[in-house]
Amino acid sequence: MIVDKKLFFPSLGILSVIILAIATNLHFLQTSIGAIYDGCISIFGWLFIFADICCLIFSLWLMFGRYKDIRLGGQDCKPTFSTLAWSGMMFTTSCGGWLVVYGFLEPVYCVSQNAIVAGESVAQAYELGQMYAHFHWGPNAWAIYIPISIAIGYALYNRHDHAATVSAGIRSITAKKWGILLGLIVDIIAICCAVMAPVVSIGTGMPLLTALVQSIFGLPDSSKTTIQLVILAIWIALFGTSVYLGLNKGIKRLSNINVTVAFIFMGVFGLIVGLVQVFSAELNTTGLFFQNFIRLSSYTDPYGSGSFVKGWTFGYWACYFVYMPLMGVFNAKISKGRTFRQIAFGQLVLCTLGCWVAMGTFGNFAVKAQMSGAVDVSGILANGDEGGAIVALLNTLPVPKVFMFILLAIAFIFLATTMDSSAFAAAEMTVVQNGADSLAPRWLRIVWAIVAAAIAFIVVQVGGAKAVRSVCYIAGLPMAIVSFIVMYSVYNMLRKDYRRKSEIPFVPDYDLGEGKKQSINI
């Protein structure tokens, strides 16, 4: 394969500058970038909401519309991965360490901040807190990844494009000269997003990993730096090995292990809370979710302070749009042989159910502990100690260190799976594809893994997670705008390729955007 130099070197240069800025001038970066992010979210927060609604509607159209049975790779193409392995890779790649932390804490966060539950009884407040947690990890979140996954996959496998990039997914409407520059800019931003997005998960997950290690081995606070260095070393070795082994031998196996252990662990928590309590709470939460779905999806708090939607919904959607290029490329590469309906169903339903199981087990366990007075989760969170809150919850269990060790392994593998998928996607975006089934060379995957590890290492050492999070969230704004272009491009490709009522593909020529045309047989 040939490395695409016009994408590889600019992206590597931008990321190097960011690494240098974090390492040498963190305070200025946090102040300036934080101010820019606050301005962007105040002015354009509504755009994230609107883009998300459009992605959800478009995803439902792909799932149930006239093109639902189109298969990536052609109608005779068979899926590369089993449904379990395929959906598991999508699930673990996107969730990272976030799901472990906020699976426990988000319902309590929502109530303790008193943002959406003012005037309600305590019981009603926690019902609404669970409803919002399910919303932020539900179909609206996963819908953001579906149009881009299908756009890239259809261009790569059905239109035989030469790149697994965001620009390939929008080439049907940007094939003119002006579109080449736009595509280049979009791809550079997308590559930077793919490498940096998982670092946000690390910023969230590292305090939990550190707190778990301290509690398991009884280590003092003075050892935090050493603990984090050891965690980083093991973690880099784990995801580096997975990246080197590739999609089938590395990422798939790591994902399968993670899904199996995580869901068994969630099931144990369901038994601890009580299955009757879990099923009752989840039925109630599902009812509230659908009852308030339109309100939840469109809530911008225009006449209030907006603090809740800025801190939660806008922030979540901004993060998900940053993940959009990573998930688009990764999902496209693993979804060959899948129909549009299967791709949409896998993310809207299967991945949502995975998140809701975490909220229903971890979340209900935390709510039960808070309401019973067993653990003052809200008070611990008020001091900014998320890892300490989860450790306190686990200490209420029999043999707590066993549970801590298992949770440590799950969080660890979640982060590793996200990072190796990030390096994989970045590598795929910076090569010219020899064929739809070809993969980027191992050395390129390792290069991007090293860059991601360097960012993670520096962020952990200098405490720059907030700065990186702000940079990523700002990058979510152009990606939200790109999502509209992606949706129109998918529609445009399908309209041109299936213009006859019999839906037999008919494409006389396809412009690759470099003055070349080729006939397409789908």
303-359 pLDDT tens trace: 887 788 888 899 899 989 999 999 999 999 999 999 999 999 999 999 999 999 999
Query: What is the structure's pLDDT at 289?
Result: 96
State both tokens at 30. 């946090």
Q: Does 278 have pLDDT greater than 50?
A: yes
Q: SS3 of 287, please? A: helix
Please state, in angstroms and as integers, the Cα–Cα distance from residue 138 to each residue in 49, 102, 131, 363, following that order: 14, 13, 10, 15
Q: Does 492 have pLDDT greater than 50?
A: yes
- Residue from 133, 124, 127, 125 nearest 102 by CA: 133
* Helix (H) or strand (E) segment spanning residue 518: strand 517-518
Q: At what angle do helices 400-429 and 313-334 cross, to 10 degrees?
A: 70
Structure-derived torsion over alpha carbons of residues 44, 145, 54, 489, reported in degrees to the nearest 10? 100
Query: What is the structure's pLDDT at 144?
Result: 97
pLDDT band at 462 (very low <50, low <70, confident <90, very high): low
Taking residues 452-469, report their average pLDDT.
71
* Helix (H) or strand (E) segment spanning residue 124: helix 122-136
pLDDT band at 188 (very low <50, low <70, confident <90, very high): very high
Longest Cα separation, the chain? 70
Lowest-pLDDT choice from 68-77, 98-107, 249-258, 325-334: 249-258
Taking residues 101-121, report their average pLDDT.
75
Higher pLDDT, 412 or 460: 412
Distance between CA 488 and CA 467 in Å, rounded? 33
Query: What is the structure's pLDDT at 233?
Result: 81
> pLDDT exceeding 70 applies to what percent of the chain?
89
Q: Does 501 have pLDDT greater than 60?
A: no
Q: Does 254 have pLDDT greater than 90?
A: no
Average pLDDT, the chain: 85
Distance between CA 74 and CA 369 in Å, rounded? 52
What length is written for the chain? 522
Q: Does 151 have pLDDT greater than 90?
A: yes
Q: Does 464 have pLDDT greater than 60?
A: no
DSSP single-letter state for residue 339:
B
Q: Does 415 have pLDDT greater than 90?
A: no
Q: SS3 of 431, please? A: strand
Taking residues 53-68, report their average pLDDT.
97
Distance between CA 417 and CA 409 in Å, rounded? 12
Could you write out the DSSP letters of every residue in 18-83?
HHHHHHH-HHHHHHHHHHHHHHHHHHHHHHHHHHHHHHHHHHHHHHHSTTTT-BTT-TTPPPSS-H
Burial of 74 (0-12, 13-18, 19+ CB in 10 A): middle
* Helix (H) or strand (E) segment spanning residue 231: helix 224-246
Q: Does 402 have pLDDT greater than 80?
A: yes
pLDDT in tens, 199-249: 777 777 888 899 999 999 999 888 888 888 888 888 777 767 776 676 666
Lowest-pLDDT choice from 130-139, 236-245, 356-365: 236-245
Taking residues 73-84, report their average pLDDT.
91
CB 169 within 8 A of CB 152: yes
Higher pLDDT, 236 or 126: 126
Higher pLDDT, 420 or 354: 354
CB 325 within 8 A of CB 480: no
Distance between CA 30 and CA 443 in Å, rounded? 33
Query: What is the structure's pLDDT at 50?
Result: 97
pLDDT band at 165 (very low <50, low <70, confident <90, very high): very high
Taking residues 377-403, report their average pLDDT.
92
- Every domain of the chain and the residues it spans: 2-499
Please state, in angstroms and as integers, the Cα–Cα distance from residue 49 to each residue in 54, 316, 521, following that order: 9, 10, 38
DSSP single-letter state for residue 223:
G
Q: At what angle do helices 364-372 and 98-112 cross, to 10 degrees?
A: 40
Please state, in angstroms and as integers, the Cα–Cα distance from residue 326 to each residue in 252, 304, 306, 329, following that order: 16, 34, 29, 6
pLDDT band at 28 (very low <50, low <70, confident <90, very high): confident
Domain at 2-499, CATH from 1.10.3110, 1.20.144, 1.10.4160, 1.10.10 = 1.10.4160
> pLDDT exceeding 90 applies to what percent of the chain?
48
Query: What is the structure's pLDDT at 169?
Result: 93
pLDDT band at 177 (very low <50, low <70, confident <90, very high): low
Lowest-pLDDT choice from 38-42, 62-66, 469-473: 469-473
